[in-house]
Structure 1
Amino acid sequence: MDRGGCQMSGGGGGGGEGSGIDRNGVITLEDLESFTEDQLSDSGNGSLEDGEAMEEEDGSDRLLHYWQEVARGHQVEVSQDMAEPIQQLSSNNHGRSNREQVPFTLLSRKEKCGELLYEKRQYEKGHWACITMHEDTYEQSICYGFMRIMRYICQQNAIGNYLGMTLPIVTVVRTNENQSVISHDVTVAYYLPAEHQAQPPQPYDSDIVIEVWPASTVYTRPFTGPTNEVTIVNQISVMAELLDSPDLCDNNSFIVAGYTNPAHSNRQNEIWFLERR
């Protein structure tokens, strides 16, 4: 199976202020479109192997090698064929304020002593590009799946255009009956931007499927940090205890919504429980 040129097992890196990355040296999903070649040149962190000078490379190679340097700190390998998707995401600089969010209606919030426990939201029917991975670990599956979704977003689709980034990227996880073990089958999904909802561009990758997800009522709770089998099981347990009526929700299928790149050591996430229809 094509693993999307990505391998990950956590870790840390080094970065500086003004570099377009966080202080741990991680390029986040939030920074993908806003990260430009000018920032790259100013960052001082773009050293290349074999002593090559940044000025001797074209923009796509420069960005690819910068990503590779940063990714090594997280045991993530970014392959050569990711150069074009990275270049596309970086050159289509629309700014964070214009980044499209998956639309929803907030129905209610539950708080305790000023702390948000969870929100109840209504998500409408929509088209999602989905790929199901079957890797050895959850971390590997989301990493490989995300890289392949990136290719779809960046021209490897029927219209040959950059589609635009939406947030969050979500993963559907399945558990056993007592919610203690996560299946190795993990679905990574990307919400099509509004302009492509009526006619979603078909992917070149035959493993990516365009699905229509029905309108759903979702209970969500934010959490930070890496997402792996242990943290997800813990988050499912916490959320189940907080809900007044957890039996109203699916008990073996959950969603992890990610707002930052899978390689980010301090990811911004949500756990979603889906109310039974």
Structure 2
Amino acid sequence: MDRGGCQMNGGGDRSGPEQHGMITLEDLESFSEEQLSDSGNGSLEEEGETMEDEENQDRLLHYWQDVARGHQVEVAQDMAEPIQQLTSNNQGRSQRQLIPFTLLGRKEKCGELLYEKRQYEKGRWACITMREDTYEQSICYGFMRIMRYICQQNSLGDYLGMTLPIVTVVRTNETHSAMSHDVTVAYFLPDYHQAQPPQPTDNEIVIEIWPATTVYTRPFTGPTNEVTIIDQISAMAELLDSPGVCVNDSFIVAGYTNPAHSNRQNEIWFLERP
């Protein structure tokens, strides 16, 4: 992975014509069921299952807008349909594909996981690089554009399916004391679209082939912003036996849970040099 692209190792071909984080991820049904029910609006089952009702669609949009406003992000009215589609198509964990990997090893201390070493195989990703004022703004606006691609703004005109984690590529200076404003949001194409990925209608979304990569990964919970990411990078560097084997200025933040979750699940990924 280089500073200008979003490949995992710096290699990789490009095909096609051409995320804490904010609105990204795993328990998308909690937007509709848990959070909306808590506000007195009832559950999706009570309202009629799939959110096709215009009133429920607006309710979800308003909820996302309220959450995003706290991060100085505006969610446009035209996001109502993608939000509805992503939510109604992800009722249950079985509807979300986890990106496959091979576990190569684990390091523990006193029963606590310090980090895992994993192998991710070559695969196609939809990527967009953003440059907003803050990390949270970049990943939110980037994911919303990826979300439109997932939800019909593609050459098939169809819902593509959700995979996890949604990842963001962040770049730092050599001392890991500051982050670049350039943030790449990336979505792994589901298995059934890997051979022939649908092309985005958004010409700033690029389909890239990321090469097979060895990743050192450590879980963390809570929000993701410039401060927490720099802290996690520093903590991970201290835990690695040989940090020099990893890329020094590009890292990945992997997100598994949505921003409203009280105990957000994330990972920091260090990428082994090719």
Contact 2:246 2:271 in 1 (8 A): yes
Q: Which has the higher contact order (CA 8 A, sep 6+)?
A: 2
Partners of 2:230 and 2:38 in 1: CA distance = 38
**1:176 corresponding residue in structure 2:** 173
**1:158 corresponding residue in structure 2:** 155
- 1:156-235 aligned at under 5 Å gives the runs 156-235=153-232
Q: How many Å apart are 1:230 and its aligned residue?
A: 1.3
Does residue 252 of the first structure (1) align with residue 249 of the second (2)?
A: yes
Partners of 1:41 and 1:132 in 2: CA distance = 32
RMSD after superposition: 2.8
The one-letter code sitting in structure 2 at the alignment partner of 1:30 is E
Does residue 30 of the first structure (1) align with residue 26 of the second (2)?
A: yes
Does residue 96 of the first structure (1) align with residue 93 of the second (2)?
A: yes
**1:64 corresponding residue in structure 2:** 61
The one-letter code sitting in structure 2 at the alignment partner of 1:67 is W
Instruction: With the length of structure 2 as denominator, give the TM-score of the two structures.
Output: 0.81
Contact 1:46 1:69 in 2 (8 A): no
Partners of 2:65 and 2:133 in 1: CA distance = 23
- 5+ residue gaps, structure 2, are 1-18, 43-52
Distance change in 2, residues 1:141/1:266 (3 Å): farther
Partners of 1:9 and 1:62 in 2: CA distance = 22
Partners of 1:75 and 1:205 in 2: CA distance = 23
**2:78 corresponding residue in structure 1:** 81
**1:21 corresponding residue in structure 2:** none
Contact 1:123 1:218 in 2 (8 A): yes
The one-letter code sitting in structure 1 at the alignment partner of 2:78 is D
The one-letter code sitting in structure 1 at the alignment partner of 2:108 is E
**1:107 corresponding residue in structure 2:** 104
Contact 1:9 1:74 in 2 (8 A): no
**2:128 corresponding residue in structure 1:** 131
The one-letter code sitting in structure 1 at the alignment partner of 2:27 is D
Q: How many Å apart are 1:99 and its aligned residue?
A: 1.5
The one-letter code sitting in structure 1 at the alignment partner of 2:168 is T
The superposition leaves residues 108-131 of structure 1 with CA deviations (integer Å, 9 ceiling, x where unpaired) of 000000100000000000000000
> Identity, % of aligned pairs?
79
Distance change in 2, residues 1:149/1:57 (3 Å): closer
Distance change in 2, residues 1:42/1:186 (3 Å): closer
Q: What number of residue pairs does the alignment pair up?
A: 246
Q: How many Å apart are 1:147 and its aligned residue?
A: 1.0
Contact 1:71 1:77 in 2 (8 A): yes
Contact 2:218 2:236 in 1 (8 A): yes
Q: Say which SS state the counterpart of residue 29 (structure 1) adopts.
A: coil
Contact 2:253 2:269 in 1 (8 A): yes
Contact 2:27 2:258 in 1 (8 A): no
Partners of 2:205 and 2:93 in 1: CA distance = 26
**1:239 corresponding residue in structure 2:** 236
**1:122 corresponding residue in structure 2:** 119
Partners of 2:71 and 2:155 in 1: CA distance = 33
Q: How many Å apart are 1:31 and its aligned residue?
A: 2.5
Q: How many Å apart are 1:212 and its aligned residue?
A: 0.2
Partners of 1:41 and 1:246 in 2: CA distance = 44
Instruction: With the length of structure 1 as denominator, give the TM-score of the two structures.
Output: 0.80
Q: How many Å apart are 1:76 and its aligned residue?
A: 4.5
The one-letter code sitting in structure 2 at the alignment partner of 1:261 is N
